[in-house]
Amino acid sequence: MRLLITALTLWIASSLPAQTPIAPSPADTWREFRGNASRTGTSSAAVSDQLELLWSFEAGFSIDSSAAIVDGVVYMTALPGLVAALDLEDGTLRWKRDFGDDEDRFGESSPTVVEGILYVGDLTGVLHAFDASSGETVWSFATEAEIKSSPVVFDDLVLVSSYDEYLYALDRRTGALMWKFQSQGPLHSTPSRDRDLVFVTGCDAVLRGIRLDDGEEMLQMDSGAYTSASPALVDGIAYYGTFNNDVLAVDLRQQKYLWRYEHPVRHFPFYSSVAVQGDVLVVGGRDKIVHAIDRGTGEPRWTFRTGARVESSPVIAGNRVYIGSADGRFYVLALEDGEKIWEFNAGAPFVASPALASGKVVIGSQDGVLYVFGTPVTQN
């Protein structure tokens, strides 16, 4: 891999913070993909080890995206054109939008909910803003290719990546274009933020740091391979997997690679985004394995073998890892050693990532069922 350095190296070194604490998603909220602006996939929710299926919702078509959970409401999408809001406690349908055509619309792009507006991209290239209480369209913005990235809100902007090779920044209230940045290949990852820079990876094999105010590129580094995962940012370091069968740790201040992890035997791409807590990161691989890696050294901590590829991105809460697999099972693992604590066999692949809030775990399967797990309330 080669390092590409801009003329603004000193500016970057002075602008990035010396330490960026991991800020997990609040215990009662999961408003965006990976739970926070740093995309670390961590939650403050206290989830019991004694999980049970509380309720499920039959969407009818594949659920490939993560849910958002805000103010006790679950927001989800499914192919080909369903957007729905359900009560977190019992699954009561609050509202749904069905675009009613045969064209696949809602795929991997996960909804983000901020101040009463739900933002989500679709496979026709449209970014939608819906009223979160009613599902009515507030505005929409058309890109030139499919959107698999999840939109995210930073200050007064909503950002989304598109396969038309652009990263877009729109006014989050009106949908007006504020700026756009062109890469050299389709953009799949969801933007991550570290102070006034946002970071994206893409099919051009480059990690880029883009200034939030005006879309100017401030940093680029060669990842060595096509990348679809979203970078997790902790202490000025980016962690992400590539299609070169490795996971990278990139020091953004010093613009250098700290380590590269690759399984010694099984060499498969990493489509999943990493979760980071403390001195360990966890990621799923297309080698059918969940990998735990030492954050400081890149050495393996443990592995957990599933029955099929793992494209679901893990979530860490407390000392537990929550992740789905294409083998049709949802797993709860011990963060310390990868021991299996619990599993649920849905009989259909999980590629979506879990969302955690208020002691519950929400995840959808590719046979179109949204599952909600938790501990039933004991009736006196």
Q: What pLDDT digit, counting tens, does each position of 254-311 carry?
A: 999 999 999 988 889 999 999 999 999 999 999 999 999 999 999 999 999 999 999 9
Report the mean per-residue pLDDT for the chain: 93
Range of 271's domain? 34-374
Per-residue pLDDT for 9 more than 60?
A: no
Confidence of residue 2 (pLDDT cuts 50, 70, 90): very low
In a domain, 28, yes or no: no
Residue 55 in any domain: the answer is: yes
- Is the model's pLDDT at 5 over the cut of 60? no
For the four alpha carbons of 46, 52, 58 and 62, in that order, the dihedral sign comes to: positive
Q: Is residue 3 part of a domain?
A: no
Q: Tens digits of per-residue pLDDT, 222-250?
A: 999 999 999 999 999 999 999 999 999 99
Residue 21: the pLDDT is 55
* Tens of pLDDT, residues 140-167: 999 999 999 999 999 999 999 999 999 9
Give the pLDDT of residue 1. 45
Q: Summarize pLDDT for 177-217 with one digit per residue, the tens.
A: 999 999 999 999 999 999 999 999 999 999 999 999 999 99
Considering its fold, how many domains does the chain have in total? 1
What pLDDT, on a 0 to 100 scale, did the predictor assign at position 100?
Answer: 75
Would 16 be classed as within a structural domain?
no
Give the strand order in the sheet containing 152-154. Answer: 152-154, 157-161, 166-171, 177-182
The pTM for the full model equals 0.94
Is residue 165 included in any domain, yes or no? yes
pLDDT score recorded for residue 24? 92
Kindly report, residue by residue over 325-350, the tens digit of the pLDDT.
999 999 999 999 999 999 999 999 99
CA separation for the pair 64, 82 (Å, rounded):
12
Q: Is residue 218 domain-resident?
A: yes
Output the 3-class SS for 90-139.
CCCEEEEEECCCCCCCCCCCCCEEECCEEEEECCCCEEEEEECCCCCEEE
Predicted pLDDT at 378: 62
Give yes or no for residue 362 having a pLDDT over 80: yes
pLDDT reading at 16 higher than 60: no
Note the pLDDT of residue 8.
44
The answer to the question of residue 26 being in a domain is no
pLDDT (0 to 100) of residue 102: 67
What gap in Å lies between CA 190 and CA 200, rounded to an integer?
7
pLDDT tens-digit series, residues 29-68: 999 999 999 999 999 999 999 999 999 999 989 999 999 9
pLDDT for 10 equals: 38
pLDDT, one tens digit per residue, over 85-140 is 999 999 999 999 998 766 779 999 999 999 999 999 999 999 999 999 999 999 99
* Residue 89 to residue 372: CA distance in whole angstroms: 9
Q: Among 8-17, 203-212, 310-319, whose mean pLDDT is lowest?
A: 8-17
The CATH number for 339's domain is: 2.130.10.10
Does 369 score more than 90 pLDDT? Answer: yes
In this predicted structure, what is the pLDDT of residue 99?
A: 87
Looking at residue 60, its pLDDT comes to 86
CA angle 88, 58, 43 (to 5 degrees): 35
Residue-level pLDDT at 23: 80
* CA angle in degrees (0–180, nearest 5) for 210-189-227: 100
Domain assignment present for residue 13? The answer is: no
